[in-house]
Amino acid sequence: MNITEAKTQKFIVKFFPEIMIKGSKAKREMVNQLYNNLRALLKRISEEIVLKKSFDKIEVLVPIEVVTEARIKLMDTPGVEFIQEAIQFDNITTLDEIKVKVNEVMGKEIVGKTFVVRAKRAGSHEFKSIDIEQTVGGYMLAYNETLGVKLKGAQVTINLELIDKQLNIITHKFKGLSGFPIGTQGAILSLMSGGFDSTVASYLTMKRGIKTHFIFFNLGGVAHEIGVKQVAFYLWNKFGSSHRVTFTSVPFDDVVTEIFKSTSESYMGVMLKRLMLKAAEKIADNMKIDALLTGESVAQVSSQTLRNLALIDQATTKLVLRPLSTMNKPDIINIANEIGTRRFAESMPEYCGVISKNPVTHGNYERMQKEANNFDYSVLDKAVENAQVTNVDEIIADISDIGQMEVVSDLSTGDYTIIDIRQNEECIKASCETIKIPFYKLKTEFKKLPQDKQYLFYCDKGILSQLHAQYLKDAENFTNIKVYRPAN
């Protein structure tokens, strides 16, 4: 075989070490699952990709024209510890054949450098692995201008595998995702806000081999939902597309309105999290899923103290996993950056904190029960009934970028009325008419206003105003809304 004429690239897939130490039955099941996952993923790239499974590896032959795409998919598949790119030669029986082939492929790599040869052998041969190393090393030393053989700390390591009569020359090695194959560890329902925490948490469960479905509680209208769908699709497509999962969207604006009616101000944040778990539990029951996933980290915000997390967990009988519970925010952001979700998270609002003023940091069990008893749970039941379920692979048409609402900074450019949508009693002072409608009342109150006027939504950070304006435009067909952002 002349390497310049090669039409395929060989990859050797090595398994996550924890797979290798399992009992024989569990190991066999995991290897079979990984093989099936890779087969499903790679066949989408090319029907000509060939896979061969053995007890400690999976060999993959890939047409040259799709090598890059296949390599990326192998590196992003849970269960893969690392992948080796190799050039394969068949019907190799002697040391002389081995040394010539290896020098043909790797000679140029060791010019002007120190090198060492490492060989592994399986099968029946008249020589040992060390004989391969010494013969190849001596031959390459004689026929190339090198700095010599160096057994420790060499600049170039030439890795060889001889399996019966098949010689594999390892040319590159790439780190895989590690973890267990998806499909071996059951399913979980991830509470997705689209921010740093929930996306990283979802990635970690996918990496651990858990089939991760998504549930989203819509507090911000169409724009927010599409943003979360974008990142959910990205995560699934990159790390979990060997299995089909769902995206459930639960309309939660009426739930928030009921919280404002029935719950004391300091307990609103904890109450919202409890209601999300309750709703997720109902959806998970229908899906026959035993566990819920959140991106909460201890002490990151007021609702995430140990006491408050305990109060939140009282709302469900499901197992709640929090893989980020002891992680620092910079570490979470670093992972988001590595996996490619940072660009989504940076533009995604976190709603859970917007409804709490002077939030309790060490809630009381008896007080929490009283607050919970005041809530009208028929509102929550209705929200769950109105939930929309979509297969993640079918939402691609919904995740295209949505147009941003027009922002006005100069009030002299038109005849405007500003609507201050902040939840406090304060109302912005401006050179035009201003009125106060808290964001959680916009859905019902805005339609009562004269619709021959131009309205500007205002809030402190511009997040709520942007998304609620987008919601009323998309869902209710209002065209007389813009966002007010004062010039600094």
Active site residues: 459
CB 32 within 8 A of CB 80: no
Is 295 labeled as ligand-binding?
A: yes
Nearest to 360 by CA among 261, 295, 425, 265: 265
CB 420 within 8 A of CB 436: yes
CB 119 within 8 A of CB 132: yes
β partners of residue 391: 246
Is 304 labeled as ligand-binding?
A: yes
* Secondary structure (H, E, C), 139-203: HHHHHCCCCEECCCCCCEEEEEEEECCEEEEEEEEEEEEECCCCCCCCEEEEECCCCHHHHHHHH
Task: Please list the alpha-helical segments (H only) found in 67-128.
Answer: 67-75, 95-106
CB 217 within 8 A of CB 191: yes
Nearest to 197 by CA among 343, 352, 324: 324
Strand, coil or helix: what is 275? Answer: helix
How distant is the alpha carbon of residue 448 from its chain centre? Answer: 42
Q: How far apart are the C-alpha atoms of 161 and 164, rounded to whole Å? A: 10
Is 467 labeled as ligand-binding?
A: no
Is 191 labeled as ligand-binding?
A: yes
Q: Which residues contact 32 (CB under 8 A, 6 or more apart)?
A: 53
Q: How far apart are the C-alpha atoms of 66 and 46, rounded to whole Å? A: 8
Strand, coil or helix: what is 23? Answer: coil
Nearest to 376 by CA among 254, 240, 264: 254
Residue 130 burial by Cβ neighbours in a 10 Å radius (0-12, 13-18, 19+): exposed
Helix, strand and coil percent figures for the chain, each rounded to 5:
45, 25, 35
Instruction: Say which amino acid occupies 446.
Output: F
Q: Which residues are part of a known binding site?
A: 191-192, 273, 295, 304
Q: Which residues are part of a known binding site for ATP?
A: 191-192, 273, 295, 304
